[in-house]
């Protein structure tokens, strides 16, 4: 396998999810299995590839697919079966979708392959209607996000075009593959395979081996705890990368045995990531208290509590990360309302969320930049926390990939008693009496200092 490809996109934190081999095999199941399923036409749709699991069929967020032999950043894709509503005709139809991010090297090769045969267009997404369990109405992205698309019959492959406004840095190297659902699951799978073969991405759905994951974990340790060293991996051969990683870890005093504490954990349906169990204690010693994010509107707070949690707006044109700030022990008692969006309501998040390895932080507002130069110049987690504990920067930002589950919420801070009373009334109308087992009256408090 090409390990160089594996680490090329470490600048874009890895998703590294987990999905059973059963689901993966169903995705590209063989013809014989399809014919066996077809013997019972009434049950065909429930047993077809991709949608075979109830979780897959019902989850609008999809399921994580453990992926690849070097073409996919972070060894992760997301697969889902979607029921769509055509706004013009009012008819419904279904598609299989696989989406994710390629490594920079794979993106570049795919871009070169698509240029002579593709068409330039704009990225479109549908809005999920969880009640009707379908996707309807094209989302207004508020901007033009350009892609190149290759079409083969009704199967499409779209690739984000690089070099657009930095507001959409989170879309870099993104791709999406779709094919319509028919009564012939084998043909549907073949359509996807044929498209991948056409673009020389045959290995996209191959399962990673343990060696690839070990390199990913070590790369993650370097990327997060010695960010200024990660670019030293650029241009190395597959044989050189493991040696270089071990050398960097030794020189930076990072124990390579820490990879044994890195476990795959589900954040919410459709997304999992590695966490380094126990590292939060080191962060607390540096001054970490919690993570927080400002939410100006009480109605939005209620919606967040009713949803899986804080979700990135990468499905509506923005970044693929959730932006948060740090809460630290600081003798100067910095105030929430000195931060952007911090003057009304704040969701407080368990510090253990920092055990995730898919986050990165800047001391000032950097639009969540994922440029390699910006990422290599950022502080390590302990440096970041210590600096904020010494001199709090109100523009600090911490980016978590895809979202933060509401199960990690530990409270809501309101700027005033009147705002608290207003929010409690909204929770009452929504029949929300507790969050994560905490009575709502105790969960919602008043405070002004971080």
- Residue 151: which of 126, 180, 125 has the closest Cα? 180
- Residue 161: which of 105, 196, 111 has the closest Cα? 111
401-424 mean pLDDT: 95
Confidence at 321, pLDDT banded by 50, 70, 90 = confident
Share of the chain above pLDDT 70, in %: 72
Q: Which of 40-54, 60-74, 116-130 has the lowest mean pLDDT?
A: 40-54
425-431 mean pLDDT: 96
Q: Which residue has the tokens 């030293």?
A: 232
Q: Which residue has the tokens 């075009």?
A: 161
Rounded Cα distance between 442 and 93, Å, is 46
Confidence at 373, pLDDT banded by 50, 70, 90 = low
With beta carbons less than 8 A apart as the criterion, state whether 157 and 97 touch: no
**What single DSSP character describes residue 206?**
P
pLDDT reported for residue 161: 84
Rounded Cα distance between 220 and 258, Å, is 11
Confidence at 124, pLDDT banded by 50, 70, 90 = confident
First to last CA, the chain: 47
Coil, strand, or helix at residue 74? strand
pLDDT reported for residue 104: 77
Q: Which of 150-164, 324-338, 396-410 has the lowest mean pLDDT?
A: 150-164
Count of all residues that appear for the chain in the document: 450
Phi, psi of 200 (to 5 degrees): 60, 40
Q: Which of 127-141, 377-391, 399-413 has the lowest mean pLDDT?
A: 127-141
Hey, what long-range contacts does 56-61 have (CB within 8 A, 24 or more apart)? Answer: 56/23, 56/80, 56/81, 57/81, 58/133, 59/269, 59/270, 60/128, 60/130, 60/133, 60/135, 61/268, 61/269, 61/270, 61/271, 61/308
Rounded Cα distance between 179 and 50, Å, is 12
With beta carbons less than 8 A apart as the criterion, state whether 185 and 34 touch: yes
- Residue 393: which of 413, 365, 372 has the closest Cα? 365
Share of the chain above pLDDT 90, in %: 42
375 against 23, higher pLDDT? 375
Confidence at 21, pLDDT banded by 50, 70, 90 = very low
9-24 mean pLDDT: 36
399 contact partners, CB below 8 Å, separation of at least 6: 319, 321, 322, 323, 324, 359, 360, 361, 368
- Report the mean per-residue pLDDT for the chain: 78
pLDDT reported for residue 92: 83
Tens digits of residue pLDDT in 49-87: 333 333 334 344 454 554 444 566 555 677 778 888 777
pLDDT reported for residue 114: 94
Ordered by start, the domain boundaries in the chain are 3-205, 210-263, 278-446
DSSP one-letter string for 321-374: EEEEEEEE--TT--BGGGSTT-SSEEEEE-GGGGGBSSEEEESS--TT---HHH
Neighbours of 251 (CB within 10 A): 10
pLDDT reported for residue 302: 96
With beta carbons less than 8 A apart as the criterion, state whether 207 and 18 touch: no
Confidence at 136, pLDDT banded by 50, 70, 90 = low
- Residue 200: which of 27, 65, 5 has the closest Cα? 5
Neighbours of 408 (CB within 10 A): 20
Q: Tokens for 362, please give them.
A: 């800047």
**What single DSSP character describes residue 239?**
T
pLDDT at 400 over 70: yes
Tens digits of residue pLDDT in 218-270: 988 998 999 899 888 877 777 888 999 999 999 999 999 999 999 988 887 76
pLDDT reported for residue 82: 80
CA dihedral 235, 236, 237, 240 (to 10 degrees): 180
5 against 158, higher pLDDT? 158
- Residue 368: which of 336, 396, 340 has the closest Cα? 396
Rounded Cα distance between 49 and 95, Å, is 12
With beta carbons less than 8 A apart as the criterion, state whether 127 and 140 touch: no
Confidence at 278, pLDDT banded by 50, 70, 90 = very high
With beta carbons less than 8 A apart as the criterion, state whether 379 and 387 touch: yes
pLDDT reported for residue 234: 76
pLDDT reported for residue 38: 35
Pairing of strands 444-446, 409-414: parallel
115 against 365, higher pLDDT? 115
With beta carbons less than 8 A apart as the criterion, state whether 326 and 332 touch: no
Q: Which of 33-37, 273-277, 298-302, 331-335 has the lowest mean pLDDT?
A: 33-37
With beta carbons less than 8 A apart as the criterion, state whether 24 and 232 touch: no
Confidence at 363, pLDDT banded by 50, 70, 90 = confident
CA 20-26-27 angle, 5° bins: 95
Coil, strand, or helix at residue 76? strand
13-25 mean pLDDT: 36
311-318 mean pLDDT: 54
Q: Tokens for 323, please give them.
A: 């932006």
pLDDT reported for residue 108: 87
169 against 247, higher pLDDT? 247
pLDDT reported for residue 260: 94
Q: Tokens for 43, please give them.
A: 């049950």
Q: Which of 199-208, 330-339, 393-402 has the lowest mean pLDDT?
A: 199-208
Rounded Cα distance between 426 and 302, Å, is 7
421-435 mean pLDDT: 96
Q: At what angle do helices 240-251 and 210-225 cross, to 10 degrees?
A: 40
């Amino acid at each position: 396998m090409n390990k160089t490809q594996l680490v090329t996109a470490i600048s874009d934190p890895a998703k590294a999810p987990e999905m059973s081999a059963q689901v993966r095999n169903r995705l590209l199941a063989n013809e014989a299995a399809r014919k066996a399923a077809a013997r019972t036409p009434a049950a065909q749709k429930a047993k077809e590839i991709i949608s075979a699991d109830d979780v897959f069929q019902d989850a609008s967020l999809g399921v994580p697919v453990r992926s690849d032999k070097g073409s996919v950043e972070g060894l992760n894709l997301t697969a889902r079966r979607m029921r769509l509503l055509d706004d013009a005709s009012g008819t419904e139809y279904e598609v299989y979708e696989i989406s994710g991010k390629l490594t920079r090297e794979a993106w570049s090769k795919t871009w070169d392959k698509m240029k002579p045969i593709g068409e330039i267009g704009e990225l479109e997404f549908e809005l999920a209607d969880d009640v009707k369990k379908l996707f309807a109405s094209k989302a207004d992205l508020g901007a033009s996000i350009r892609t190149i698309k290759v079409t083969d019959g009704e199967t499409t492959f779209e690739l984000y075009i690089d070099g657009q406004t930095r507001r959409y840095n989170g879309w870099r190297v993104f791709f999406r593959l779709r094919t319509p659902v028919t009564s012939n699951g084998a043909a549907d799978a073949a359509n996807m395979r044929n498209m991948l073969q056409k673009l020389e991405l045959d290995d996209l759905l191959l399962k990673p081996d343990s060696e690839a994951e070990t390199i990913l974990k070590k790369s993650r340790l370097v990327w997060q705890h010695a960010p200024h060293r990660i670019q030293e991996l650029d241009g190395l051969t597959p044989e050189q990368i493991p040696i270089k990683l071990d050398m960097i870890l030794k020189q930076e005093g990072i124990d390579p045995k820490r990879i044994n504490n890195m476990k795959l954990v589900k954040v919410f349906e459709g997304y999992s990531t590695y966490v380094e169990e126990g590292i939060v204690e080191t962060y607390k010693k540096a001054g970490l208290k919690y993570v927080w994010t400002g939410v100006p509107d009480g109605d939005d707070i209620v919606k967040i509590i009713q949803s899986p949690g804080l979700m990135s707006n990468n499905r509506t044109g923005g970044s693929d990360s959730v932006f948060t700030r740090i809460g630290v022990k600081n003798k100067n008692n910095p105030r929430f309302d000195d931060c952007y969006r911090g003057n009304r309501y704040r969701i407080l998040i368990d510090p253990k969320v920092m055990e995730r390895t898919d986050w990165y932080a800047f001391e000032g507002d950097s639009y969540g930049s994922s440029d390699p130069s910006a990422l290599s110049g950022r502080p390590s987690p302990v440096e970041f926390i210590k600096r904020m504990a010494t001199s709090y920067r109100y523009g600090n930002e911490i980016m978590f990939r895809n979202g933060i589950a509401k199960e990690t919420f530990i409270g809501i801070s309101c700027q005033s008693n009147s705002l608290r009373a207003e929010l409690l009334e909204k929770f009452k109308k929504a029949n929300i009496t507790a969050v994560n087992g905490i009575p709502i009256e105790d969960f919602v408090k008043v405070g002004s200092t971080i």
